[in-house]
Structure 1
Amino acid sequence: MATPAECRAALEQLSENLGKANGDIRSAAAMDRSLTCWITDLDLTFSGRLRGGHITEVTEAPGRPAERAQIRLAMSGDDLVALVGGRLNFASAWATGRVKLEAGIRDLLQLRTLL
């Protein structure tokens, strides 16, 4: 099972990857939205902002997200680490329910480029 530190490191790596992206991926990641990632097996939530192609202002708190973010993710810590490490495909993980993504329709349409 991934540790909280490994999950935080994965989110930092994801932020770095988004910041280096080009083209459609860069423009999709350039939105300004609140973001939560609930790590289900650790019952731990990371909250932050997707802004300018980076995930910023990341905090962590026990339990489910206290507030409803504009973009909401839920998955196990191992799946987060595998997704960021390129060992798990987001589309198949989402289709099988391993990863849950909730957002408004406009955000989902923009995020589809990242998927």
Structure 2
Amino acid sequence: MATIEECRAALGQLAANLAKAEGGVKDAAALDRSLSCRITDLDITFVGRLCGGRIEDVTTVPGVPKEKAQIRLTMTGDDLVALVGGKLNFAKAWGSGRVRLQAGLRDVLRLRSLL
């Protein structure tokens, strides 16, 4: 089971990947939306903001936050680490229910190039 530190590092790597993205990926990441990533096996949620192609102001809250983010991901810590590390395909994980994505339809369409 991935630790909180490993999950935080994976999110940091994702943020770094977004910051150096180019083309369509950079355009998709240019959303300005609240973002949360719930790690079910650790019962924590990372909350922050996707803004200008970066993930900013990331904090950790226990359980489920009171306020719902505009873009919400839910998965295990191992799946987060595997996704960011390129060992888990997002589409397959999403299709099988291992990863949940909740967002408005427009956001999902823009985010598909990121995922």
Cα distance between partner residues in 2 of 1:9 and 1:64: 20
Amino acid aligned to 2:13: Q
Structure 1 partner of 2:105 = 105
Q: Determine whether 1:15 maps to 2:15.
A: yes
Unaligned runs of 5+ in 2: none
Aligned-partner SS, 1:55: strand
How far residue 66 of structure 1 moved from its aligned partner, in angstroms, is 2.1
Cα separation, 1, equivalents of 2:79 and 2:65: 18
SS of 2:81's partner is helix
* TM-score for the superposition, normalised by structure 1: 0.98
How many Å separate the matches in 1 of 2:66 and 2:89? 28
- Provide, for residues 46-73 of structure 1, a one-character-per-residue CA deviation record: whole Å limited to 9, x for no partner: 0000001110000001101221110000
Aligned length: 115
* 5+ residue gaps, structure 1: none
Matched, 1:87 2:97: no
Alignment of 1:4-83 (within 5 A): 4-83=4-83
Matched residue SS, 1:98 = coil
What SS is found at the alignment partner of 1:114? coil
Shift of 1:81: 0.3
> Aligned-residue CA RMSD in angstroms?
0.6
TM-score, length of structure 2 as denominator length: 0.98
TM superposition shift of 1:113: 1.3
Which residue identity lines up with residue 55 of structure 2 in the other structure?
Answer: I
